[in-house]
Amino acid sequence: MRFAVFGAGGVGGYFGGRLAEAGEDVTFIARGAHLEAIRKDGLTVESVAGDFRVSPAKATEDPASIGPVDAVLVCVKAWQVKEAAERMRPLVRAETIVVPLENGVEAPDELAAVLGAHPVLGGLCKILSFIVAPGVIRHAGVTPSLAFGEMDGTASERVRRLREVFRRAKGVTVEE
């Protein structure tokens, strides 16, 4: 699958990095010194579940430069979701899945208000991770896990496919 990770900090860097390590096509949307370090040296993840490096790593500040993707992982701070939704429009086509990995319950509604309800899943993650230096993420604890699904609670083929992709990634548990 082709992924855009909107926010390459502790959450996006870890989960996007694990997807890239598993062979998925991942582009990180980052900014500043972190973006430059990822472009220059790749993304390094120091993890209690095993260190790894994604190099070369695809990274940009401009979502429009990526074009439509299969899935967008929304990994910005909760207060940044509305702005991120506007900026991610060029990433979303009819079949794109948008998965918020936030610590707030408003993100799916905020994303749907901008992108429409169809692409947006409900989602959350558990992890203790953070940026320790530009281009370097540290996973310091908590078994990394994801839970996501259709907002109406129905089973869908797209959710099943996305779960299978994440299950192929090392260091990630996917909850039903």
- Sign of dihedral through CA atoms 77, 83, 111, 89? negative
- Summarize the confidence of residues 95-111 as an average pLDDT: 92
CA angle at residue 130 from 126 to 131, to 5 degrees?
150
Q: What is the pLDDT of residues 17-39, one digit of tens each?
A: 999 999 999 999 999 999 999 99
- pLDDT for 176: 83
Over residues 40-86, the pLDDT tens digits come to 999 999 999 899 999 999 999 999 999 999 999 999 999 999 999 99
Distance, in Å, from the CA atom of 5 to the CA atom of 7, rounded to the nearest integer, reads: 6
Res 102: pLDDT: 84
Assess whether pLDDT exceeds 90 at residue 146: yes
Cβ contact 99:123 at 8 Å: yes
Give the per-residue pLDDT at 140.
96
Q: How confident is the model at residue 103 (pLDDT cuts 50, 70, 90)?
A: confident
User: Which SS3 state, helix, strand or coil, does residue 106 take?
Assistant: coil
Reading the block at residue 50, the tokens are 């095993």
Please choose, from the candidates 49, 65, 21, the residue with its C-alpha nearest in 3D space to the C-alpha of residue 140: 49
